[in-house]
Chain A
């Protein structure tokens, strides 16, 4: 079942701009993960944030987690055409099974 819900469903930005997408979930988690999927391909793990962490960085990615609001955000700074993809949040509860949201489709215009 899907626990995470991403917002917005789609996002179109100019190259060089920042892209922000949000994820909300319903039940308690051990960690929250973000994945990228290029069209017709498998998912690639981007970043994991544990329930006791509030913010994490990896290159041009910044993830925040607010467990009191059951929400997370993914920020991609200085976007590039290669960032065009769908982005999914996934929550890991106590059973090590990931539940994925429906994703945010990001289009970066040159």
Chain B
């Protein structure tokens, strides 16, 4: 069965420090991968998505970047965190178009607090 792992669960980082959040998927190949951010009491904002290794699309200009060094690994990074980067970050995967299995599977999220 397919599983998705996201870590860490919580993170408190000072302003100006770097960030690296990792997400890995098991039990599937060539998944579409996504990073979302959720502000408190709000919906989800799509930050990045990837349809293959090294292929990253950014949805909003920001202080963050994403990379996909392996088929089932998706990394969210920042060189210097801002206070406004605080939030709940969620990784998700879906099957590629044409392979059925619609619907996203989400990781358990990372609560990032920038202080």
Distance of A30 from chain B, by nearest CB (Å): 9
A96 touches B46 (CB 8 A): no
Instruction: List 12 other contacts, CB 8 Å, given A35-B104, A97-B49.
Output: A2-B45, A33-B104, A35-B106, A41-B108, A42-B108, A43-B90, A44-B106, A90-B104, A96-B97, A99-B46, A100-B44, A102-B41
In the complex, how many angstroms separate the beta carbon of A97 from the nearest chain B beta carbon? 6
Q: How far is the CA of A78 from the CA of B13 in the complex (A)?
A: 44
Number of A-B contacts (CB under 8 A): 56
How many B residues, CB 8 Å from partner? 26
A42 to B88, CA, bound (A): 9
* A14 to B88 Cα, complex, angstroms: 30
What per-residue 1/0 map shows which CB atoms of B74-115 lie under 8 Å from chain A?
000000000000001010101001000011111111010000
Kindly list chain B residues whose C-beta atoms are within 8 Å of the C-beta of A4.
Answer: 43
Could you tell me how many residues of chain A have their Cβ less than 8 Å away from some Cβ of chain B? 24
Contacts of A33 in B (CB 8 A): 102-104
A-B complex: 7 closest residue pairs judged by Cβ atoms: A42-B106, A45-B103, A100-B44, A102-B43, A100-B43, A43-B106, A42-B108
Chain A residue with minimal CB distance to B90?
A: A42
Cβ distance B30 to chain A, nearest Cβ, rounded Å: 13
Separation of A31 and B100 alpha carbons in the complex (Å):
13
Give residues 27-68 of B contacting A (CB, 8 Å): 32, 34, 36, 41-46, 49, 59
Interface centre among B6, B44, B88, B111 (most CB of A within 10 A): B44
Residue-by-residue, is A20-45 near B (CB-CB < 8 Å gives 1, otherwise 0)? 00000000000101010000111111
A58-110 contacts to B (CB < 8 Å)? 88, 90, 92, 96-103
